[in-house]
Amino acid sequence: MTTLNPNGSIITTIENTIATLEFGHPASNSFPSELLDKLTNELNTLSDNPSVSVIILKSSGSKAFCAGASFDELLAVSNLKEASIFFSGFANVLNAMRNCSKLILGRIHGKAVGGGVGIVAACDYTFATMESNLKLSELEIGIGPFVIEPAVSRKIGKAAMTEMTLDSEWRTATWANQKGLFSKVYANQKMLDNEITSFANKLASYNIDTLSEIKKMIWEGTENWNTLLYERAEISGKLVLSDFSKKALNQFKK
């Protein structure tokens, strides 16, 4: 069992050219800015590592996969610059996942909310459990899933993205599988781990240069994310400073 640092942690292990990248935070694996920056840097490092052929992205513990943005940090931002920088942290992670030369397999063992859904969507192939429900709750706190929208819409389409955004109820793992956010869904974490390990080993046996070219192919047409995601971060930054958002965030925290 991984002991979580109060500020969050990033742990990478490499075995048989498979890198397992694990992020964690005591608050349901949510992301403060510092942890977003560390995840971005680690993804960039693994992208340049010639001894790595595939990445498994996972989170710590056995409950939530990722609760999205840190509410504490969202409440603490006091001006547009701070707020835009915070949301740019998610833009940085999504672009690092998109630009990474390695295929990223997502191990989604539990619920994902907000930015966590964006991380799920930016994985190249995902393995989940039946407990891995998803939710976009941004509208309830006065903002919207602006930064992650391109990643989620790319997987499930605008109609389903609109559904998730306006009707912020939980979506089941079965729904996510049918829409394309989850590639495979399993009854429990043991089955998930067996299958993702087997799949990663199969990919690792292939030509690493071919895998890299496939990665480029499946992300064609997203080059505008280098500017789009940061424009979206500024929109979120403006909205989170509103009185509505501050009040809503305090209520959610309670």
Which tens digits make up the pLDDT trace of 41-61? Answer: 999 999 999 999 999 999 999
pLDDT at position 254 is 65
Range(s) of the domain holding residue 104? 9-208
Residue 81 lies in a domain: yes
Strand order in the sheet with 18-24: 9-15, 18-24, 54-59, 103-108, 125-129, 184-186
**Range scoring the smallest mean pLDDT among 20-29, 65-74, 215-224:** 65-74
Residue 248 lies in a domain: no
CA distance 159 to 165: 10
Residue 23 token pair: 């992020």
Output the domain CATH number for residue 88.
3.90.226.10
Residue 179 lies in a domain: yes
pLDDT at position 192 is 98
Q: Report whether 99 contacts 147 (CB < 8 A).
A: no
Q: How far from each other are the two terminal CA atoms of the chain, in whole angstroms? A: 28
Residue 104 lies in a domain: yes
Residue 77 lies in a domain: yes
**Range scoring the smallest mean pLDDT among 19-23, 24-28, 121-125, 242-246:** 242-246
Instruction: Write out pLDDT tens, residues 204-245.
Output: 999 999 999 999 999 999 999 999 999 999 999 999 999 999
Residue 176 lies in a domain: yes
Query: Does the pLDDT value for residue 202 go beyond 90?
Result: yes
pTM of the model: 0.95
Residue 213 lies in a domain: no
pLDDT at position 4 is 54
Q: Which residues contact 211 (CB under 8 A, 6 or more apart)?
A: 53, 54, 102, 103, 203
pLDDT category of residue 88 using cuts at 50, 70 and 90? very high
Mean pLDDT, the chain, rounded, equals: 95
Query: Does the pLDDT value for residue 5 go beyond 90?
Result: no
Burial class (CB in 10 A: 0-12, 13-18, 19+), 176: buried
Look at the chain and report how many structural domains it folds into. Answer: 1
pLDDT at position 1 is 36
Query: Does the pLDDT value for residue 87 go beyond 60?
Result: yes
Residue 2 lies in a domain: no
Q: Report whether 121 contacts 104 (CB < 8 A).
A: no
Residue 145 token pair: 């899933």
